[in-house]
Amino acid sequence: FDLELELNNCLEKDELQLVYQPIYSVKQQKVITVEALLRWYKDHSQIVSPVEFIPVAEETRLIIPIGEWVIRQACRDLPQLQQKYGQSIRVAVNISRIQLDEPDFIERLNQIVQEEGISARYIDLEITESVATSNTVEEQSSLVKLREQGYTISLDDFGTGYSSLSMLTRLPIDTIKIDRSFVTQMNPPVLKALITMAEALDLNVVAEGIEDQEQCQHLLKLGYTEFQGYWFSYPLAVSQLPALSNLPY
Ligand code: G
Ligand code: G
Ligand code: MN
Ligand code: NA
């Protein structure tokens, strides 16, 4: 399989890049987190979407070295992101379940973060909701350990999987990221129920996929205060990210 063979060399060929997308807090009037999103420029020209290559990377376990590259690069970009948005911002990194399930994941993560001179409290780990639906005892205890060490945990694409309420109370997470399909549908009772539930469980909430001012205003009325989406910024290279000050949300 072509893609698999080519993905094999993406690290040596230096074909990977990270772009970043800010998460804006209306309460704090500033960017609080910046999510790192991976891009593969095959042969330094053709861009391949992570939707295509992450599954291949997971099947081949190449996600382990690729994921480590992502963590290291995000640490290296953090000072520039802090310069842009303030010292207290975090960088969020998407973590595949294959990575989380590696017995030495935490050890390797800590090693990279230390080597790069970054404190764990500046790193948010995004895991997908599937981890919340059928998580193992090992995964739960990994999440507990990660939080003890200062990392924060976000549950990505929330609402698309089948996480039960009991899972949410049991899993050590800080934030749920409401999937952008909920923003597109804009069903007020559903959105109200989601935020009420999150607040009852003392979870932080980010609404994803905000594409215009109207969506943003609807969500504000429903009690949402943290937003991510094209309306604020596309995922961009660090140097191209907007300042996002004096926002007209
Ligand atoms: O950036 P977006 O445009 O195309 O990303 C598509 C999907 O790929 C998203 O579900 C996102 O979580 C995932 N993704 C992006 N970057 C990474 C990464 O570094 N690691 C993992 N595991 N998934 C990623
Ligand atoms: O699954 P995850 O949330 O990690 O990935 C975020 C994905 O959503 C990326 O593919 C990113 O490029 C995309 N994205 C971010 N903001 C928007 C938006 O406002 N609209 C749409 N359609 N996609 C978005
Ligand atoms: Mn994500
Ligand atoms: Na998401």
Give the orientation angle of helix 63-85 with respect to helix 50-60, to 10 degrees: 130
ipTM: 0.97
Which pLDDT does position 22 carry in this prediction? 98
Query: Considering the entire predicted model, what is its pTM?
Result: 0.96
* Ligand 1 lining (C-beta closer than 6 Å): 37-38, 49-51, 54, 70, 94, 96, 235
pLDDT of residue 113: 98
| Residues lining ligand 2, Cβ inside 6 A | 21, 37, 94, 156-157, 180, 208-211, 229-230, 235
pLDDT tens-digit readout, 177-218: 999 999 999 999 999 999 999 999 999 999 999 999 999 999
Taking a 5 Å cut-off on Cβ, the residues next to ion ligand 4 are 156-157
Q: What is the torsional sign of CA 136, 140, 145, 149?
A: positive
Ligand 2 atom 11: the closest Cα is on which residue? 235
Q: What is the mean pLDDT of each run of 10 residues along the chain (249 residues)?
A: 89 97 96 98 94 95 97 98 97 96 97 98 91 78 96 92 76 94 96 94 96 96 98 97 82
Beta pairing, strands 90-94 & 123-128: parallel
pLDDT at 1: 66
- Site to probe by mutation for ligand 2, drawn from 21, 178, 205, 232 as the one with most ligand atoms within 8 Å of Cβ, is 21
Tell me the residue type at 138.
E
User: How many whole angstroms separate alpha carbon 130 and alpha carbon 133?
Assistant: 5
Predicted local distance difference test score (pLDDT) of residue 185: 96
CA distance 95 to 113: 15
Closest CA to 68 of 101, 41, 108: 108
Domains, the chain, in order of start with CATH, read 2-179 (3.20.20.450)
Residue 156: beta bridge partners?
Answer: 128
pLDDT at 128: 86
Beta pairing partners, 37: 19
